[in-house]
Structure 1
Amino acid sequence: MKNGHLIAVAAIFLATPAFAEISKEEMIKRGEYLVATSGCNDCHTPWKMGDNGPEPDMNLMLSGHPETLAITEVPPINEPWVALTYATNTAIAGPWGVSFTANLTPDLETGVLRDYSEEQFLLAMRTGRHLG
């Protein structure tokens, strides 16, 4: 009896595809959802001052720190502060120096995703490792 249940459960799992096939449009919608819920725009989209305060500049969505905004001098960081954030929210300065957010687009010149295959991108998203 116990083996019969195990065989039935195994048969169901083996007969069920791991992932349902989805259309290109559904895949794009899912990507938009993941970008929104994962907070990608919080750092990788430059922010601008809007009518209600700071907001992401969606004309520059996921483009990272603008290359035209050179940071030549960082103000001193005094305790208890440990970091300063640039107005665009794309550069953070601390005791380590300045960190800049990357361009998460497939732009041929500046996008870090330009060299990723779909498989490498999925692996990087799942593992957090550059190029999987």
Structure 2
Amino acid sequence: MVAMLCCLLLFATSASALCLPLMTYPQPDINSPTNFMEAMIDSLLYLRIATTSVKGDASNVEVLIGLAARKEAYKCGSDLLSRFTSSTNPFVAQLSKTGSEIYTTLVQLTERSELLIKNFANNPKTQATSLVL
């Protein structure tokens, strides 16, 4: 699993290329509330996957790999919902836009976490002072 994930991380690909479609895609009827609810459920499954990708007792490398997997899972969730932002159903359009924005924020927070871990790993002198502050 870790080896496969490392290989995937070596190549810059879009989230949709890494996402395994959990329901019938690529082009759902964006005006169908049923298709939207299926996509919403699938996006929540990606959220669940993201929350299990980083373990508390992991090494820095394992944490970085887990954070990368978490970030991709968030991107997958966003990709699923963003397909419905132009729906003629205002509820579907607004909820998909909001959900996609939430996933985008989670991606940004995960990127910041990755940067913090990398900075701590590369600057041992600042580790102790940063933790004290």
Q: TM-score range by the shorter chain?
A: under 0.3
If asked which structure has higher relative contact order (CA below 8 Å, sep 6+), I would say: 2
The TM-score normalised by the length of structure 2 is: 0.26
Q: Whose radius of gyration is greater, 1 or 2?
A: 1
TM-score by length of 1: 0.26
